[in-house]
Amino acid sequence: MKEVMAFIRTNKVNVTKKALAEGGFPAFTCRPVLGRGKKSIDPQLLSVVIQNGELPLNMSGEHLTEAFRLIPKRVFTVILDDSEVSKVVEILIKANQTGNPGDGKIFVLPINEAYTVRSGQKTVEAY
């Protein structure tokens, strides 16, 4: 079993839900999150701040505070069989790709164990 975790734009939630359902994956979790990508900070500017211990009082300092702001995103989590991972990843990319920075990230993680809460039994059919 695998977990596919996709961080996407908030305006792509409905498109993603529809694409997953039409692709045969109607079971998923979607939750709101806040974050930002690591490429949004200029490394040279960050090193100046670390060395000086404070933000510069100019446009560079203002840029840094903007870069540290958290951006609202949504996380979709889909638990599925190993053989279905590439299909779900393809669906997620197709539904969310605009060609612009901030389109999102997809991570695939192993699921080592799963349990049914009602019965307490270990199961391979957690999804």
Contact present, 44 and 64 (Cβ < 8 Å): no
CA-to-CA dists, residue 110 to 4, 35, 40, angstroms: 9, 23, 29
CATH number of 2-37+70-110: 3.30.70.120
pLDDT in tens, 89-119: 999 999 999 998 889 999 999 999 999 899 9
pLDDT in tens, 17-47: 999 999 999 999 999 998 877 665 666 666 7
The structure's pTM equals 0.75
